């Protein structure tokens, strides 16, 4: 039995859904209506904006990309962190990390995304 909340699997399915019409059901299953997504390139509020961003990314920016969690999930107090990467034709092109916050119902209320590897430690 996995301790990983089901919503994290459903959310990743939204990113990997090839049919734009089927992205939203994954988001409705995993996210609260007022979900907030923040990364270095985007800020969205609500499922409508998040859906539009994902569809745009799949259609216009990286149509052949696939999205993968690359680590286990660490969490406490309804907050979870994990590493991920974007792959194109099986080749990793962008690593990153998400910190995801859930509500008491187990739905995602916020995703804070980071791109790239961690910076080197300053001397």
pTM of the predicted model over 0.95:
no
* Number of separate domains in the chain: 1
pLDDT digits (tens, 9 = 90+) for 64-86: 999 999 999 999 999 999 999 99
> How high does pLDDT run on average in the chain?
94
Sorted by sequence, the CB contacts under 8 Å of residue 122 that are 6+ apart come out as none
Within a domain: 57? yes
pLDDT digits (tens, 9 = 90+) for 6-45: 999 999 999 999 999 999 999 999 999 999 999 999 999 9
Per-residue confidence (pLDDT) for residue 118, from 0 to 100: 86
Residue labelled with tokens 């979870």: 80
Per-residue confidence (pLDDT) for residue 2, from 0 to 100: 59
Domain harbouring 10, CATH code: 3.10.450.50
* Domain range for 36: 6-115
Do 68 and 85 touch, CB atoms closer than 8 A?
A: yes
Q: Which residues pair with 121 in a beta bridge?
A: none
Within a domain: 79? yes
């Amino acid at each position: 039995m996995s301790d990983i909340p089901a919503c994290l699997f459903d959310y990743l399915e939204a990113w990997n859904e090839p049919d734009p019409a089927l992205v939203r059901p994954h988001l409705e299953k995993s996210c609260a209506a007022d979900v907030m997504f923040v990364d270095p390139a985007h800020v969205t509020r609500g499922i409508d904006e998040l859906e539009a961003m994902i569809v745009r990314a799949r259609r216009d920016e990286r149509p052949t990309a696939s999205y993968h969690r690359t680590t286990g999930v660490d969490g406490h107090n309804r907050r979870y962190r994990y590493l991920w990467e974007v792959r194109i034709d099986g080749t990793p092109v962008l690593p990153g990390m998400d910190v995801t916050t859930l509500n008491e119902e187990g739905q995602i209320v916020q995703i804070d995304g980071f791109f790239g590897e961690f910076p080197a430690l300053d001397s």
